[in-house]
Amino acid sequence: MENQEVKKAIIPVAGLGTRFLPLSLVVPKEFFPLGDKPVIHYIIDEVKKSGIREVIFVVNQKQKMILDYFKKSPELEKLLTKRKREKDLKELKDFEQTFDGISFSYVVQKNPVGDGHAVLQAMKLLGQEAAAVSFSDDLIDSGVPVFNQLMNIFKTSNAPVLALKSLSREKIPSYGSVATEKIADRLYKIKKIIEKPEITKIQSNLVIVGKFILTPDVFTYLKKASPSKKGEIVLAEVLDKMIMDGKTIYGYEIKGEWLECGDKSKWLKSFFYFTLKDHTLSKELKEYLRALRY
């Protein structure tokens, strides 16, 4: 494991998306728009900017369409060329170039029985490698790619690294909270993980963001894990079990803007964030919002 390079990213997208009903009945939530691009576009862009070139999607049995988004479209290219739609043709080629050099594969999670179980399904494509994991509910808009931030810690520790963010105390019960020991600026040793704690049990202002570097021993624990009371294998609970067994796990308070897409309200806020940041869309939208007196 010494100085192991992280070459692969696991992206679970097999969830039911019930918080987004009825829209999620026909549109997987990773294809919900943020500005003029879907959520999954930003996730893969984060991965690529971190230098990772292999992506493993964990999908459900009806969701294999995700790979179609990243395929080239020669028929559309021919049609746009024939019709002399130069602007649209350039946009298509620019989009295809964005993800050039990345290989995509997928594994199927037959039953949605927890995020830990979803991550475990990718094990057969990893071997004995560390991997980045990115849940599609969380995006980080940062000058330094989020996985580069985590990999800088992993390179010297060869231990799992969790992305952390600071929140106000009243918001923490909705997240996975951590008890920590500070090691250096922004760097912590995780002492305990408390999933959605009661306000009286909060031990720090740091919560877990859905970005991780996981080592092979995490997958060993996931494989042996027993389902929770809800019948799920939960990644946070498995990581907490590793800590109780004396395993070292680090947390890094990442730099950048945390954009969430876990429910309708958070997704809409993220939608406006990216739309208003896009110079081709923001001016007209701002004028429209002013006209509505918002």
How confident is the model over 19-60, as pLDDT tens digits? Answer: 999 988 888 899 999 999 999 999 999 999 999 999 999 998
Section 235-239 average pLDDT:
94
Instruction: Tell me the CA distances in angstroms from 79 to 33, 51, 92, one per residue in order.
Output: 25, 34, 12
Predicted model pTM: 0.91
For β-strands 33-34 and 206-214, DSSP reports them as: unpaired
**The residue count for the chain:** 294
- Element (H or E) spanning 195, and its range? strand 187-195
Question: From CA 198, how far away is CA 169, in angstroms rounded?
Answer: 11
Question: From CA 250, how far away is CA 181, in angstroms rounded?
Answer: 9
pLDDT of residue 294: 63
Residue 230 has pLDDT above 90, yes or no: no
In sequence order, which ranges of the chain are alpha helices (DSSP H)?
A: 39-49, 66-69, 74-82, 86-98, 115-120, 146-157, 216-224, 235-244, 264-277, 279-291
| Beta-carbon count within 10 A of 186 CB | 14
Cβ–Cβ < 8 Å for 253, 184: no
Cβ–Cβ < 8 Å for 68, 21: no
Under DSSP, the state recorded for 37 is E
pLDDT of residue 3: 54
pLDDT of residue 14: 85
List, in sequence order, every residue forming a beta bridge with 182; answer none if it has no partner. 188
| 1: confidence class by pLDDT, cuts 50, 70, 90 | very low
* C-alpha closest to that of 211 among 160, 245, 246, 167: 160
- Could you state, in order of their start, the residue ranges of all structural domains in the chain? 8-291
Superfamily of domain 8-291: Spore Coat Polysaccharide Biosynthesis Protein SpsA; Chain A (3.90.550.10)
